[in-house]
Amino acid sequence: MLPQEVIRAKRDGKNLSDEQIAFFVNGITKGTVTEGQVAAFAMAVYFNGMNLQERVALTRNMMHSGSVLKWDDLDLPGPVVDKHSTGGVSDMVSLMLGPMVAACGGYVPMISGRGLGHTGGTLDKFDSIHGYNTSPDLATFRDIVKNVGVAIIGQTSDLAPADKRFYGIRDVTATVDSMPLITASILSKKLAAGLDALAMDVKTGSGAFMSTLDDASGLAESIVKVANQAGVRTSATITDMNQPLGSTAGNAVEMLEAVDYLTGKHRNPRLHQVTMALSAQMLTLTGLASSDEDAHQQLQRVLDNGKAAEVFAQMVHALGGPADFIDKPMASMPAAPVVVPILAEQSGFIHRIETRDLGLVVVELGGGRTNPADPVDHAVGLTQLPVVGDRVEKGQPIATVHARTEQAAQLAARQLRACIDITSTQPKPTPVVYSTISPQQAEQIRID
């Protein structure tokens, strides 16, 4: 079998066999397929797509291109379950969700990524904590999952190595936004963690990679169908990213908001709704809850009695952070030296927030990256972010900038004002959670 013949078949619109896909993925992993051939294959898939059988085969072969974690030998008394988000601004759901689900009896081996472009990364948030190790060895990772119930770390080189090379080539050949390739990329990494179930959060709106509801729905359907065909019970919840999800955007500032959420000091309503919806999916998918109502009651209970916060504190300490982090979070996180309120220049209602541009304000401050190798300033960011529909008065703060210098703060203030439209009429409220696709509904989805 030759790589160029696999490329030719897909270029001509033919469906690839499992053997052809396995051969090509093996070539990506071992380097016997050139970068040019990988790029040509990606472009052929971009234009001609893949049917369900091809998507499942691509996902499975990329998943098995490296190590696949096994948990059976640990005799865990509960299911192994995880969540994945397609990315957004002020999306710190994972920080609370993992400990909440663990407090309800789940085991959450969450392998997360860093931020790139306008979106924030879960690992960057944890890197804000002095001593927290996002790259433990596999034995330590497994031990913490067993004893604490959750460990949030970064991807190791052993998990889905084919995807790492494939994605890097897609990134520079304008073939990232292909539904079959996005599906296989996400699921190959997640399923390699040896999950019993997966809850997907597919974002839509101005701050999401899938900006339209139709595109988000298409990706959600593809992921649910392929993941369930691959043997992992999976649901997908489509959530709104037409405005920041929480009250902060940055790294240390989002970590502090997560602590405030877990301890009950402050819970942004939009953030709370999405966190509860996804956590509930994880409980119902695995049988830890008999219904959505039962799941919400369990989750609220572990928030109210402090168990979720306790699990979070145990995880942070087990991975090298301070034992008292939940009580004194800012004692082990950096704080920006310049804090400047941004004042409204007119009275009215927050009518629209250009969420992607707001995320880029954080990047401009140094809190994000446009290149994977860029360093990140964990102290900078935005707090007290407004919500669409809020009434503001001229001269009233609509957000606060945390910056390294006065000059950077003033630039961020000008950029942020340009992201926020204030009008005299109050906009109609929009959903935070649009819909959820269950494993049962996956049976009705057709992918040609």
Out of 60, 164, 189, 267, the active site residue is: 189
Active site residue 122: yes
Strand-strand pairing, 197-204 and 81-85: parallel
List beta partners, residue 348: 392
Out of 55, 84, 164, 317, the active site residue is: 84
Active site residue 185: yes
Residues 198, 202, 204, CA angle at the centre, nearest 5°?
A: 170
Out of 29, 64, 82, 156, the active site residue is: 82
Give the Cα separation of 41 and 166 in Å (integer): 10
3-state secondary structure of 363: helix
Active site residue 142: no
Out of 10, 55, 142, 190, the active site residue is: 190
Q: Minimal CA–CA distance to 100: which of 154, 136, 156, 152?
A: 152
Active site residue 189: yes
Out of 119, 134, 185, 247, the active site residue is: 185
Those residues whose C-beta lies under 8 Å from the C-beta of residue 387, and which sit 6 or more positions away, are: 243, 270, 350
Out of 90, 122, 156, 248, the active site residue is: 122
Out of 29, 65, 85, 239, the active site residue is: 85
Active site residue 170: yes
Out of 10, 60, 83, 378, the active site residue is: 83
Give the Cα separation of 320 and 144 in Å (integer): 11
> In 25-86, which ranges are E strands?
81-85
Active site residue 84: yes
Residue-wise DSSP of 197-262: EEEEEEEESTTSSS-SHHHHHHHHHHHHHHHHHTT-EEEEEEEE-SS-SSS-EESHHHHHHHHHHH
Out of 64, 125, 170, 225, the active site residue is: 170
Show which residues are catalytic. Answer: 82-85, 122, 170, 185, 189-190
